[in-house]
Amino acid sequence: MLTEDVAPQTRTLASGEALFRQGDLTAGMFRIESGAIRLERSTYDGRKVVLHTSRTGQFIAEASLFSDIYHCDAIAIEDSLVRCYSKGAVLEAVRQNPTGATSLLAGMARQLQNLRHQLELRSVRSARDRLLLLLESRAEADGSVRLPPRIQDLAFELGLSREAIYRVLAGLERERIIERTHSTIRLLKPRGL
């Protein structure tokens, strides 16, 4: 992989700490070694809009390789460890290693597919259907889905309020479509039943 050609720096972030802020000069891209980072922007009226939540093993800020400034905030939503790959070093590695560049492009393509799926989810009007589509897309073979550390992160991702998520989850439990534990949800019925 391309990042093996680049010596990263390591940074530890406490929950709530910023990795970078919107408008900061770009330094490079990052890989989350542990924890979770939420990418968000502020609207003109001060509301936060969550663009994406990245977790262990994922890269963030790849677009910064071709930009002068970061276009959003990157905030740790739990204690996190990240590797920082210098913009100049990564671009040089891309020039020197076409095979590694292809793997970087493949990762970016997967992220683009995930973001398109998130847009699809947000176009669904019903909170119930939106949540069920998300759960189905992330379910393991046994129907289980690992929950984010905080339910509000799930709400942000779906563009719903935390209260709406709790109401929908409670309704789905009553209907015996799901069962919940502290850290997982398990789908009990196939969609449409």
Instruction: Tell me the per-residue pLDDT of 50-77, one tens digit each, with 9 for 90 and over.
Output: 888 888 999 999 988 999 999 999 999 9
The 3-state DSSP class for residue 91 equals helix
- Residue 6 pLDDT: 80
- At residue 191 the predicted structure's pLDDT band, cuts being 50, 70 and 90, is low
Sign of CA dihedral 79, 16, 59, 24: negative
What length is written for the chain?
Answer: 193
- Residue 131 pLDDT: 92
**Interior CA angle at 57 toward 51 and 63, to 5°?**
45
Instruction: Tell me the per-residue pLDDT of 138-188, one tens digit each, with 9 for 90 and over.
Output: 888 889 998 877 787 788 778 889 899 999 999 999 999 999 988 899 998
Domains and CATH numbers, the chain: 2-123 (2.60.120.10), 127-187 (1.10.10.10)
Q: What is the mean pLDDT of residues 120-148?
A: 88
